Amino acid sequence: MKRIIQLVFLASLIPALCQGEEDMRHQVKQTQSVVAGLSPELQALFSREMLELQKGMMAMVPLYVAGKLDDIEKIAAQMESSYVLKQNLTESQMHELHAKLPDAFIEQDQQFHYLAGMLAHVANVGKTELVGFYIAKMSESCLACHSAYATDKFPALAGKGQGEHNH
Ligand code: HEC
């Protein structure tokens, strides 16, 4: 019986929750959504690449704590070269990206690549403490770009973007 009451209570909450979400979406829509302006093909490619990046980041900590720097080097090198702004693109898609994405976005992308390259390098030379440092720097760079350009996708980051650092 108690269960049923709980269920009924939960059910009655759902419309309210959805309402909240709608309001939030509405607000968030006013922030930048760089990717929304791209062609559907590029959006799909972009999303796929992001999921790959996420997979790479999630693989790193277990490898790091197990001292497997060689594997980290491989992943970091892949991340450095596989990101959407760098490969898989026709010339006209490349043109589209550069025409539609703000310069600051491209800078964030370049910064991310720089960090991935550094991570591959320090892993290659076996500097464990620097490997930890660059893994952290890379997650900061994911966060920085998302806070500025992906608050549609990550509403929890809304209002934390564009150079604001809440340390
Ligand atoms: C240069 C900017 C930039 C960087 C750097 C960046 N992202 Fe993203 N990411 C975005 C944007 C913009 C979106 C939102 C795309 C959208 O609106 O569909 C996104 C979306 C995502 C998504 C959701 C993809 C989906 O379609 O479900 C994941 C996961 C993600 N990023 C992971 C990462 C990780 C992990 C890193 C760092 C290793 C990272 N991103 C670095 C800009 C960036």
Query: Is residue 166 in a domain?
Result: no
CATH of the domain at 83: 1.20.120.10
Ligand 1 pocket mutation, candidates 50, 81, 86, 119, criterion most atoms within 8 A of CB: 50
Q: What domain count does the chain have? A: 2
The per-residue pLDDT for range 21-48, each reduced to its tens digit, is 444 444 444 445 788 888 998 888 888 8
The Å distance, Cα 66 to ligand 1 centre, comes to: 27
- pLDDT at residue 93 above 90? no
Residues 24 and 75 in one domain: no
Ligand 1 pocket, residues with Cβ under 6 angstroms: 33-35, 47, 50-51, 53-54, 57, 105, 108-109, 112, 138, 141-142, 145-146, 149-150, 152-153
Q: Same structural domain for residues 20 and 37?
A: no
Neighbours of 114 (CB within 10 A): 13
Sign of CA dihedral 14, 19, 25, 27: negative
For residue range 137-147, list pLDDT tens digits in order. 999 999 999 99
Shared domain for 43 and 121, answered yes or no, is yes
Look at residue 45 and tell me if it is in a domain: yes
Of residues 18 and 151, more confidence is placed in: 151
In a domain, 119, yes or no: yes
Tell me the per-residue pLDDT of 51-81, one tens digit each, with 9 for 90 and over: 999 999 999 999 999 999 999 999 999 998 8
